[in-house]
Structure 1
Amino acid sequence: MEQINITKLISKYLKHWPLFAIGIVACLLAVFLYLRYKAETQYETTSTLLVKSQDAGQGSLKGENIKDLGLIKNSYNVDDEIGILRSTGIMEKVISTRSLNINYYVEGRIRDVEIYGDETPIKVLVDETAKVIYDLPITVTLLDNNKYELQASINGEDFKLEQNFGDLVSSPFGTFTIDCREDSRYVDIGKPLYFVIKNTDRVIDNYLANLSVEQSTRTGNLLAIRFLYGHKKKGEYIVAGLIETYVEEMIKYENELAENTIKMIDGRLKLLSGEIQGVEKSVEQFKTKNDLTDVTSNANLYIEQANDYKKLISDYQTEINVINSIELYLEQGNLDTPIPASLSANDPSLTGMIDLYNATLLQKGQMAQSASNANPIIVNLNRTLNDLVKAIIENVRSAKNRLLIAQRNLQSNANKYQAQIAKVPSMERKLVDISRDKSTKEGLYLYLLQKREEEILSLAAPVSSTRIVSLPKAGRFPVSPNKTALYLSGILLGLFLPFCVVYTKGLLSNKVASIEELSSLTTAPILGEISRSTDADIIIANKNSRTPTAELFRLLCFNLEYLKKTEKNQTLLVTSTTKGEGKTFIASNLAITLATNGEKVIVLAFDLRMPSLMKNFDLPDSPGLTDFIIKNDVDIDRITQKHPSIDNLYLIGAGMEVNQVGRLMLSKRIEELITSLKSDYDRIIIDTPPIGLISDAFALNAYIDSTIYIVRKDTTKRDNVKSIESIHKNGKLRNTMVLLNDTKAPESYGYSTRKN
């Protein structure tokens, strides 16, 4: 896995530091403008409330009370109380009773300032049943202690009205009354004062969005109330109004519950009073009609006789069950098996027939082992068995009828005795039931009287069990906006946006951007890099130059020796993929550097189609290479030019313009030229056309020792580097080495940069 060089990664982005600086400054400026002109300062008002626990309350809701009777079911839950505090109904009452939908402002230079309470000199009461234009600024100008002037603009039309305090104002934007506050601390500093009527529903939604009610602990009944608002005093007043309204509603609800309970108890007491009188009269009549002292004298005898009859009835029922079993067994057609001995009866004749049936069936079974079903004996036995079955069934049914008749007679006698037994306790039980009913109604009557008094006492002391633990108090410092967090976010955003721009640019770019990236794209040796020139001249690598670019050319000479694959590395071909990548610049300055190092150097301008080498040195192109190749009478000395000011530096220009340059590149005269030059010069540098467009450079491969392939930063495409890799691997150009041009000069040199 490829390791990431953190230092290089950071330096990649640090070189774009102006962009990051602009991003940070712009974002911080945006945060500053937002805080100054847009953001609304909000303070947090907090309060703590203790609500009643479940099944706790006053009056009929405390302890063992009326709801134990199942008549009232009521309980309190902390979550329910939170829901009530955050309900729109409670908040609407808070707003409507305190006119919180009317906001007062004083105009400021940057933004308008809201005032409230004794900060305002007026108090506005709006009739919202009439037509009202919401969110309309209505300016109030105080004329004196009794008069004021209203100003408003409706659909581009200005409206003015002078009015006395306390008078009803009927205007196109609403009907209201404005009173003068005597306790006002308002000081007129010449800034316009105005008020705005807000839509109550929107105010409710806004307040509830800024309201938070939650349990202080998971198991406790303490509620923490938090409310955000831009004005400290008004925020405290809103929370206080919320708690006050909540307590009032709870007391109102509990009182209504107590009143309804009293009404129900009164109705029930009236009904019970009549029922108790009826029960007492029934007891009196029953005692007069019935004499209960001698009724139970023979009760034990009746009970003994009734038990005897019940035992006989049970015995008869057992015999009936046995007979039913025999009948069911035979009706199911079980004629090949004997009747079980368990199905015996007390009737001797029935028992005899069952024994005969079983014996006949046994005889048939023994005969069937040696005779077929057609045997006369077998047939006669089958007929006997069928007759016995019919006789047994008939006998069973007759016996069962006799037993049922005897059982019914016994039951009749038993019922008579049972009626005698029941007569005595029924009268005594009736008397007990009447007395019990009387006692129950009297107890309930007394209980309801007690609860009625408790409800009356609860109405006399309407105190809610809800308790304010801490009064509403606004914080000293605003909680929103958080300036530190916003400025920190601005800094982070100012860094993030340029980072995204640089990162995206890198993703979208298809150009070689660094020597590290170049190394990852090709296996060819990397000679190094040449920084962007700080000099206005093309020729910068003179003997006395100490610029970063000149120093890099000297380093290039060292790298050429280090990476050479031949002993002399005498002939160097300089080329690139496309025009404008700086191959002529590199060839020119490399030649100067080698010459100033004491080597005898000659530079050949083999870019015959668009020669530019000689222009860099202010020398003519002719006579030159084309003249030598075409004209046999032109010798090397005639085309060779010595630089007028640089020792050891010689040049050969492109020569006259000709057509069909490709044919010239195959001429034998080129081999004669290179061979002759190798004997006279220490270093031969050949400037060729770009190989991405023209293949002239490949024709010179036989005469060179090494190739310097120029790649220009942010100009050469990554795809073009693939051709370098192919040339290197296939040996199309000998000892191909890559040089990155137009990089940034090292910071340690402290030079400015210029495009090569």
Structure 2
Amino acid sequence: MEHININKLLHKYLKYWPLFVFGAIICLSAAYLHIRYRAEPQYAVTSTILVKTNDAGKGSIQNESIKSLGLIKNSTDVDDEIGILKSNGIMEKVISNRSLNINYFVEGRIRDVEIYGEDTPIEVLVDETDTNLIHDLPINIKLLDSTQFELKTFVNDENYQTVHKFGDLVSLPYGTFTINAKELTDYKDNGKPLYFLIRNTERVIDTFLQNLSVSQVNISGNLLSIRFTCSNPKKGEDVIAGLIETYVEEMIKYENELAENTIKMIDSRLKLLSGEIEGVEKTVEEFKTKNDPSSVTSNPDLYIAQANDYKKLIADYQTEINIIDAIETYLKQGNTDTPIPAALSANDPSLTSMIDKYNETLLEKGHMSQSASKANPLIVNLDRTLNDLGKAIVENARSAKNRYMIAQRNLQSNANKYQAQIAKVPSMERQLVDISRDKSTKEGLYLYLLQKREEEVLSLAAPVSSTRIVSLPKAGRFPISPNKTALYLGGLILGLFLPLSVVYIKELFNNKISSLEELTSLTSAPFLGEIAKSVDGNIISTTNGKRTPTAELFRLLCFNLEYLKKTDKNQTILVTSTVKGEGKSFVASNLAITLASNGESVIALSFDLRMPQLMKNFGMSESPGITDFIVKKEVPTEQIIQKHPSIENLHLIGAGIEINEVGRLMLSERIEILINELKQEYDRIIIDTPPIGLISDAFALNAFIDSTIYVTRKDITKRENLKTVESIYKNGKLRNTMVVLNDTKAPDAYGYTDKKNNH
């Protein structure tokens, strides 16, 4: 497993620290400018309300009884209330009632500022039905005086500039509206242009609902937390206040509609019962007129009393049957858009529960119909549910009616037993008892319905919402966005990440040697040393006692050359590289100069016969040279050797005349003669050869050399070229191969420095 060198990794990126500092400054500045001039602060407005749920008012039998009287309204589930508060219909009424689809702005140099409420000097009333109305069009308004104003805008490549009076109806190609001046306003005209926008109501509804959240404060409670985000705190407070107000109004309206429908049904039933009671009373009157009632009232006995008790129970059941008949009649008449008065079925809990569910579903359909069409799948589903509930109520009513009728028959059977005992009672008495029983039944039902009617009237006369505001809408003191800490932190991270990415990508696509560590890790050949980058690119000079960092590194190179030598003399040294431009001629030239300055007798050979460079470094002629010696066998060695004019102990041999067939010359026996003669005369022989990555001339000299200096150059030599170095070293293609890294950064300080080159 490859271990990561943290110091090396940090050094790779820290050398680009100015880029990181620049990136951080730029991104932090961008974050500051965004916060200062671009980002619009958003405030959170919160409120808490308490709603009643299905569990409310059911803590005891007494509460259930009070509910049956109509004094406690049908409650709904908390989730349903959340859905109502977040419905399009409620929000549309809030926006319409407060003209929240009209926004007022004061132009700024960089960002326009929205004003609202008392900060606005005018009030715009828009005709939403105008087909020419253009939404989101900036309409500039200039207050000329207390009675007049000027409108200016640009529509369809045409400027419109008109003057109007406050309160007049303004009809223009882009809309119809009325503008009124406010008497109480905090607006101060500082010369900055004022304009307003008429927003599309549907889009405003969507935006407001996205910024609105309603949730339970805790799962087991009935408290709802309402939260709305807005750029203007006062506007946000008005939105929540309007939302709660509209919600309460709609709930009261629904409760009143339920009470009014109940009263209408009871009135209809009371009118019918009133006629029936009048008929019974008239029958009693006629009976007493024809008969003497004294005989009836003077002979009561025990059997009659017991029979009357059973008949009283039979009458009670008959009352329940009549109530169920009324409910059946109500449903059969097709009243599917009005709630069923649940108060009439208080003595049958199962039927009461089903009617409550029917009314709740009808309420949900009513709220949803405000923002959805009849073809909406949800509306269709609710209609189906209402139809199923209606059928279930009818079936339940029939079942209850059958139970009451069976109970009636049983009671009647028992009553008949006693009737047999009172058979001797005069017929007149029996007739009077029957008439009295019928009268008692109808009067009991009449009084019951009359009591229910009074209760519903009382509830309607004093409408009270079950919703209570726990905390009024209040905006926070500080904006919730933009988050300055997050933006600055994000800017800093981005400012560091971008340079890091650039450096990483640069390093990823960089296929060249960039450091000494990288060089030594890619080849096992001995490392001879590194050569600092020369300021002027010329060969070093030893005149006037000047010593540059480059000269010092060449002296160190000579020391390492002796330290790493594998032969006693290490006399003949070949200098080569992979490709042109890596500095092999520069290294050969300076190595020769350094050895000569150390007192050794040195000769440098320009064996790059195709593109010679060595003699140019010294400003000397290439001819006569090596090719002359090889081709012209009569040319002696002394004739091609040139002494350097200023550097003592340094001699050079140029490439000679240009020859096309250089490869054939490299196999000439004259080369061996030349090298052997030079070995007799000089301490060091430095041979500059062509790059071996292109030409194989250097391999022909391997038999005559003691060591090889393979020159690589920082940011020039490719990593893949080091495979060639590794192959040469391991296979011995060039003797005693050692690697030099050229063009590195000069050390910060040396024992001797050249003021001219000190940088």
Aligned-pair CA distance for 1:546: 4.7
1:550 aligns with 2:536: no
Q: What is the CA–CA distance in structure 2 between the aligned matches of 1:102 and 1:513, rounded to whole Å?
A: 64
Moved more, 690-699 or 259-268: 259-268
On the 8 A contact 2:69/2:455 being kept in 1, the answer is no
The CA deviation at 1:29 is 4.1
Is the alpha carbon distance of 1:424 and 1:139 closer, same or farther for their aligned partners in structure 2, counting shifts above 3 Å? closer
Q: Which residue identity lines up with residue 623 of structure 1 in the other structure? A: P
Partners of 1:752 and 1:430 in 2: CA distance:
140
- Of residues 408, 414, 422, the one that matches 1:428 is 414
Q: Which amino acid aligns with 2:520?
A: S
Deviation at 1:445, TM superposition (A): 7.2
1:295-374 equivalence runs, <5 A = none
Shift of 1:185: 1.7
Closer/same/farther in 2, CA of residues 733 and 256 from structure 1, 3 Å limit: same
Map of 1:633-644 to 2, 5 A cutoff? Answer: 633-644=634-645
CA distance in 2, matches of 1:722, 1:119: 78
- C-alpha contact (below 8 Å) 1:135/1:197 kept by paired residues: yes
Partner of 1:242: 243
Please say if 1:90 is aligned against 2:90: yes
Deviation of 1:159 after TM superposition, in Å, equals: 1.8
CA distance in 1, matches of 2:708, 2:571: 11
Partner of 2:112: 112
Counterpart of 1:706 in structure 2 is 707
1:102 matched to 2:102? The reply is yes
* Structure 1 residues 233 and 627: CA distance shift in structure 2, 3 A: same
Please tell me the residue identity of whatever aligns with 2:50.
Answer: L
Task: Provide TM-score, normalisation by structure 2.
Answer: 0.73
**1:4 is aligned with what amino acid?**
I
CA contact (8 A) 2:303 2:418 kept: no
Deviation string, structure 1 residues 430-471 (Cα, Å, up to 9, x no partner): 689999999999988777665544443333332323222222
* CA 1:623–1:180: 2 relative to 1, 3 Å: same
- Against the structure 1 CA distance between its residues 641 and 425, is the aligned structure 2 distance closer, same or farther, given a 3 Å change threshold? closer
Change (3 A) 1:271 1:647: farther
Conservation of the 8 A alpha-carbon contact between 2:547 and 2:754: no
Three-state SS of the structure 1 residue aligned to 2:63 is coil
Aligned to 1:194: 195
Deviation per residue, 1:695-733 (Å, 9 max, x gap): 110001111122221222222223322222222222111
Q: Which amino acid letter does the alignment assign opposite residue 251 of structure 1?
A: I
Against the structure 1 CA distance between its residues 698 and 224, is the aligned structure 2 distance closer, same or farther, given a 3 Å change threshold?
A: same
Describe the SS at the equivalent of 1:92: helix
Query: Match of 1:685?
Result: 686
What is the CA-CA distance between 1:429 and the residue it aligns to? 6.1
- C-alpha contact 2:69 2:452 (8 A) present in aligned 1: no
Taking a change above 3 Å as real, the CA distance of residues 98 and 747 of structure 1, as seen in their structure-2 partners, is: farther
Aligned mates of 1:438, 1:581 — CA distance in 2: 127
The residue aligned with 2:339 is: none
Aligned twin of 1:220 = 221
Q: Comparing 714-723 with 185-194, which one deviates more in the overlay?
A: 714-723
Root-mean-square deviation (CA), in Å?
Answer: 4.0
What CA deviation, in whole Å up to 9, does each residue of 1:9-39 have, x standing for no partner? Answer: 1221222334334433443344344344532
Alignment check: 8 A CA contact 2:540 2:551 kept? no
1:462 partner SS: coil
What SS does structure 2 have at the residue aligned with 1:63?
A: helix
Q: 1:515 to 1:63 in 2, by over 3 A?
A: farther
Q: Distance in 2 between matches of 1:439 and 1:601?
A: 147
* Residue 679 of structure 1, CA deviation: 3.6
Distance 1:95 1:11, change over 3 A: same
Look up the SS of the partner of 2:729 in the other structure: helix
User: 1:85, 1:477 → 2: CA distance?
Assistant: 26
Question: What is the CA-CA distance between 1:488 and the residue it aligns to?
Answer: 2.2
Matching residue's letter, 1:106 = V
Q: Say if 1:256 and 1:562 are closer, same or farther in 2 by CA, change over 3 A.
A: farther
Residue 579 of structure 1 corresponds to 580
Measured after TM superposition, the shift of residue 493 of structure 1 is 1.4
Conserved in 2, the CA contact under 8 Å of 1:745 and 1:751?
no
- Does the Cα contact within 8 Å between 1:744 and 1:753 map onto a contact in 2? no
Change beyond 3 A, Cα 1:424–1:80: closer
What letter matches 1:181 in structure 2? K
Given that 1:55 and 1:62 are in contact with CA atoms closer than 8 Å, whether structure 2 keeps it comes out as: no
Q: 1:178 Cα shift?
A: 1.0
Any conservation in 2 of the 1:622–1:656 contact (CA below 8 Å)? yes
C-alpha contact 1:534 1:547 (8 A) present in aligned 2: no
Give the letter aligned to residue 164 of structure 2.
Q
Q: Which residue in 2 is equivalent to 1:149?
A: 150
Q: Deviations over 1:556-611 (max 9, x none)?
A: 33333343333333322111111111111111122223333343332211111111
State the partner residue of 1:319: none
Change (3 A) 1:546 1:473: farther
Q: Quick check: 1:661 aligned with 2:647?
A: no
Cα distance in structure 2, aligned partners of 1:483 and 1:751: 53
Inter-CA distance 279–687: structure 2 relative to 1 (3 Å threshold):
farther
Shift of 1:268: 6.0
| Aligned residue number for residue 175 of structure 1 | 176
SS of the equivalent of 2:163 reads strand
Task: Indicate the residue corresponding to 2:348 in structure 1.
Answer: none
Worse-matched range after superposition: 701-710 or 426-435? 426-435
2:56 corresponding residue in structure 1 = 56
Deviation at 1:97, TM superposition (A): 0.5
User: For the Cα contact (< 8 Å) 1:55–1:74, is it kept in 2?
Assistant: no
- Give the CA deviation at 1:244: 1.9
Between stretches 698-707 and 61-70, larger displacement belongs to 61-70
Q: Which residue of 2 aligns with 1:492?
A: 493
Structure 1 stretches of 5 or more lacking a match?
Answer: 295-422
Q: Using the TM superposition, give the Cα deviation of residue 497 of structure 1 relative to its aligned residue in structure 2, in angstroms.
A: 1.9
Kindly tell me: are residues 730 and 250 of structure 1, through their superposed partners in 2, closer, same or farther at Cα, counting changes over 3 Å?
A: same
* Equivalent-residue separation in structure 1 for 2:207 and 2:410 (angstroms): 80
689-698 vs 613-622, which deviates more? Answer: 613-622
- Residue 279 of structure 1 and its aligned partner are, at CA, apart by 12
The 3 A distance-change label for structure 1 pair 562 and 274 is: farther
Q: Within 5 A, what are the aligned runs for 1:501-650?
A: 501-539=502-540, 544-650=545-651
TM-score by length of 1: 0.73
1:724 maps onto 2:725 in alignment = yes
Structure 2 equivalent of residue 253 of structure 1: 254
Unmatched runs of 5 consecutive residues or more in structure 2: 288-295, 305-408, 420-433
**CA 1:442–1:710: 2 relative to 1, 3 Å:** farther
Q: Is the 8 A contact 2:277 2:443 kept in 1?
A: yes
Mapped partners of 2:253, 2:514: distance in 1: 79
| SS of match in other structure, 1:581 | coil
Where do residues 57-76 of structure 1 align in structure 2 (5 Å cutoff)?
A: 63-64=63-64, 74-76=74-76
Provide the secondary structure at the position in 2 that maps to 1:195.
strand
Quote how far apart the aligned CAs of 1:264 are: 4.5
How far is 1:641 from its partner? 2.7
CA distance in structure 2 between the aligned counterparts of 1:208 and 1:512, rounded to whole angstroms? 60
| 2:28 aligned with 1:28 | yes
For 2:62 and 2:135, the matched residues in 1 are separated by: 48
